[in-house]
Amino acid sequence: MRTVYSGLVDEKFIGQTVTLYGWVHRRRDHGGVIFIDLRDREGLVQVVCDPDRPEVFNTADKVRNEYCLKVVGLVRSRPEGTKNDDLISGAVEVLCQDLEVLNPSLTPPFSLDDDNISETARLTYRVLDLRRPVMQRNLRLRYKTAMAFRRFLDEHGFIDIETPALTRSTPEGARDYLVPSRVEEGCFYALPQSPQLFKQMLMVAGFDRYYQIVKCFRDEDLRADRQPEFTQVDIETSFLTQEEIRDMFEKMVRGVFKEVLGVELANPYPVMRWDDAMAKYGSDKPDLRISLEFKEITDLCKDTSFKVFANAAAMPNGKVVAMNVPKGCQLPRSEIDSYTEFVKIYGAKGLAYIKVNEKAKGREGLQSPIVKNLSDEFLNAVIERTGANDGDVIFFGADKKKIVWDSLGALRLKIGRSEFGKKAGLFTEGWKALWVIDFPMFEWSDEENRWMACHHPFTCPKPEDVDKLQSDPEHCYAQAYDMVLNGWEIGGGSIRIHKEDVQEKVFSALKITPEEAEQKFGFLLNALKFGAPPHGGIAFGLDRIVAMMTGANSIRDVIAFPKTQRAQCLLTHAPAPVTEKQLRELHIRLRNEHHHDEQ
């Protein structure tokens, strides 16, 4: 039997004989004495193999990196001056009395100490990658975080209930992953994008408080930080108001961060309306570590002779917005020019700016290609509204509001998180959490030529907006709330519609006909007719929260076996072709037959 994990052998074992198991992290030959660093999931211990024991020494001579070993030996103090304070076992070593190779290893394709291994190599040899101490730490922290969530939910009366992984396709959100049915020819299951409909039905079923740490699937175009399958902490509760739900889960996340990282999040969180977040930061997930803010100047631009501003101000949903960057004059011209290219990614046609060299000199103290087109009154009003001082730069966005928010919002993050932003004091390290509430119910889709649900079609409108659902959908707000941390949305939810008449009005605003609603969501709508309680919930992205906690660059670093950006698994080579026989059983024929010639 193992006495203790290798990484946990410390002074209290001195004088004891211990049995250890693990892998050779490295082997060093020091003039006749062989040292082996034995590694397991808890860390490293130094094993000393002496020529006095020829049998042990000969075996030690043959072992190489990543051999799997059993070691029996005597724990003793390390000689003076050779202690290592970074290790739990740093004050001791194990004098080997018996050494057994349980399994040799091929030479690993990369050194486990290397920090610059290509991601392709890491994902192809993921099993070795996961042996690296940093990956062991990440996955252990993920486990601790999940346990902290579970403990809170268990203590607050939430019941863990599993929901189906094979369900029906409801094409309202992202693209579904489809699974063909062998029994029902031509029919398909879908993998769930979230357990939304089932958790609402569990509320109607009277379970009152439900949670699940659950896999969700989305076949969407992958961005750097998206995975086709991801994990959420999914929660639903009955009879609580939006404020009560927010208080409870703010307390939960504060507790998780305290327990796992020893970090104190704000108590209480600041709460910001969606309209205000967009107006001040151009984002519904603002990073409050950055002090930069927008000031709208559309009203000042109505009569200006500068066409770019005047045209934007005259558009039906146009805006002109200014963002003052303190000490921005220190930015080199090349950097400012690169920002112009950067905002074009977000649809902006360009980026106007004014350098404030000496505001006491009026227009003479300002430097910019656009100053000549602007009146003194306008320039003074802008400087007053933005609070700009000598040495600052004011950037402007003028276009449809979405383009202005997207482009200046991205620029705010770019400048704030840059080296310049940190030096200029525009960025404060730490954890900044907030709630964003009162999201719009609907957003207009040019493609579909109709209003679409911003969250999902079961989100409850604010009571005062129910009567405007048909007449003024643009100004209807939802009882929806997102928890935001350092510029990432880590959780989001809403109060759900529990009354049939309200649900019908929302469907009608979304141009979903009663027949279509019945066909797609009939099972939920029918359940709601049997005394559905008022209910609401929230879901937290576990992968993202753990990635933020570990400081990982990508959620791939906190998922044991992730997919690449092309949604492939380099370890198992999934997705892969299947045999003709399997396809026949599923009543499927491929349009591109040449895929199957290799079979």
Give the residue numbers of the binding site for ATP.
Answer: 218-220, 227, 489, 541-544
Buried b (16+ CB within 10 A) or exposed e, 51-75: eebeebbebbeebebbbebebbbbb
Round the CA-based radius of gyration of the chain to a whole number and report it.
30
Distance CA 30, CA 207 (A): 66
- Residue 535 pairs in a beta bridge with 238
Place of tokens 């390290």: 429
Annotated binding-site residues for L-aspartate read 172, 218, 455, 496
Nearest of 140, 181, 131, 182 to residue 25 by alpha carbon? 131
Query: What backbone torsions phi and psi does residue 309 show, to the nearest 5 degrees?
Result: -75, -45
Cα atoms found within 13 Å of the Cα of residue 255, Cβ hemisphere only:
15
Q: How far apart are the first and last CA of the chain?
A: 48
Q: Would you state the structure tokens that stand for residue 558, as one six-digit string?
A: 């906190």
Residues sharing a CB contact under 8 Å with residue 115, sequence separation 6 or more, in sequence order? none
What are the C-alpha distances in Å from 147 to residues 213, 281, 347, 542? 10, 35, 43, 11
Question: What DSSP string runs through 338-392?
Answer: HHHHHHHTTT-S--EEEEES-GGGGGGGEE-TTGGGS-HHHHHHHHHHHT--TTE
What are the C-alpha distances in Å from 157 to residues 84, 208, 236, 237, 248? 46, 9, 12, 10, 12
- Other CB atoms within a 10 A radius of the CB of residue 258 amount to 13
Q: Would you state the structure tokens that stand for residue 104, as one six-digit string?
A: 């040799």
Decide: 427 and 301 in contact? Cβ < 8 Å.
no
Identify the three-state secondary structure at position 297: coil
Distance CA 40, CA 20 (A): 9
Distance CA 494, CA 587 (A): 41
Distance CA 392, CA 104 (A): 64
Residues sharing a CB contact under 8 Å with residue 598, sequence separation 6 or more, in sequence order? 577
Chain centre to alpha carbon of residue 89: 35
- Indicate the residue type of 300: L
Identify the three-state secondary structure at position 510: coil
Question: What DSSP string runs through 191-206?
Answer: --S-SHHHHHHHHHTT
Annotated binding-site residues read 172, 218-220, 227, 455, 489, 496, 541-544
Cα atoms found within 13 Å of the Cα of residue 393, Cβ hemisphere only:
21
